[in-house]
Amino acid sequence: MDRRRLLMIFGGAWLSAALLTWFLYARTSAPKSEKTVKVVAALRDLAAGEKIEKDKLKMITVAEKDVARGAVLSPNEVIGRAVIYPVGAGEAISLSRVAGSGIEGIATSINPGMRAMSVSFTDATGVSGLIQPRARVDVLFTRTGNAVEAMTVTILEDVEVLSIGLKTAVDSAAQQAPGTTTKANVGSNTQARTATLLLTPEQAQKMELAKNQGKISLSLRNPMDRSTRPDATATLMEEIDPLLVARTNQGRRGASNRGVRDPKAWAQLIGEPEPAKVVVKPVEKKEPPKPRAIVDVYRGDKHVQELFQ
């Protein structure tokens, strides 16, 4: 084997080793180049109902495979529109989170077929101020009165809170560690506030009736818990104190003895149904049969009539 042929074999082996090394490095260590796309994102937090302006937007670069459906590629597509759902700072904006052109305000966050309705509450009836926008609550109705009339029932379940007062986004003060105190919640245990709920038209009618007939309370629930109780029943005073109604009726008996001889008055006093009326028919008097013959008998100065049937 001559020297020239040996050099050719050695050069081919070296070139093959170099190509194999480059191929392995490109597949393992070398960074891969991916296609990227520029999308529109929020420069700062955008609350529901807020109008989008140019100075509230920025462009960010994301991988083409990570672009969400409905992503906005040009600021002109959303400038002048209102935000339906809150958007965080640096979060990409999608068309599903903004209203159509020409629609503004918090009303844009109300889905078709739903209604927004406000109800007053305090910390005592609203979970100590823990209820925040976009939370989910149950609505309880309490009818006050005497021991027989008082009751509490859950009239609405799994209802979304649109806003607390004028706030449509979670307040940063509410995210502090437990036990912290801010100026916003000092003395809030007696301060009346309003919660705006998203309801169907039927639920709105039920809520309006309950607001005018008794007391409304809100019960906070886990947002992941979407269960409901179709057979929910009212809670009566008998379940809290079974002897309360009996004691109340007994007190009424001792409070007044007026009309106790009258069965109707007695039934009203003790809360029992009125006794059935007993109708007494008069007994008809039958006339005695007429005698067939009458004989006058005289005995001295005495006169007696004898009757023969």
pLDDT for 14 beyond 90? no
**Closest to 244 measured CA to CA, from 153, 149, 152, 154:** 149
Q: Which helix (H) or strand (E) holds 138?
A: strand 136-143
- CB-based contacts of 218: which residues, under 8 Å, 6+ apart? 119, 121, 125, 126, 127, 131, 137, 138, 139, 140, 195
Interval 52-76: pLDDT, tens: 888 999 999 888 888 888 888 999 9
Q: Which residues of 174-201 are buried (b: 16+ CB within 10 A; e: fewer)?
A: beeeeeeeeeebeeeeeeebebbbbbee
Which one has a higher pLDDT value, 262 or 194? 194
Crossing angle, helix 244-255 and helix 263-270, to 10 degrees? 140
Cα 91–chain centre separation: 30
Domain boundaries, the chain: 1-32, 36-109, 115-173+187-223
Mean pLDDT over the full length of the chain: 77
Q: Which helix (H) or strand (E) holds 155?
A: strand 151-164
* Rounded Cα distance, 112 and 114, in Å: 6
The arithmetic mean of pLDDT across residues 26-40, rounded, is 73
What's the pTM?
Answer: 0.49
pLDDT band at 199 (very low <50, low <70, confident <90, very high): very high
Torsion, Cα 298 300 302 303, to 10 degrees, reads 10
Range among 28-32, 115-119, 241-245, 295-299 with highest mean pLDDT value: 115-119
DSSP β-bridge partners for residue 151: 143, 236
Rg (CA), the chain: 45
Q: Which CATH number does the domain 36-109 belong to among 3.40.50.10320, 3.40.50.2000, 1.10.1040.10, 3.90.1210.10?
A: 3.90.1210.10
Q: How many residues does the chain have?
A: 309
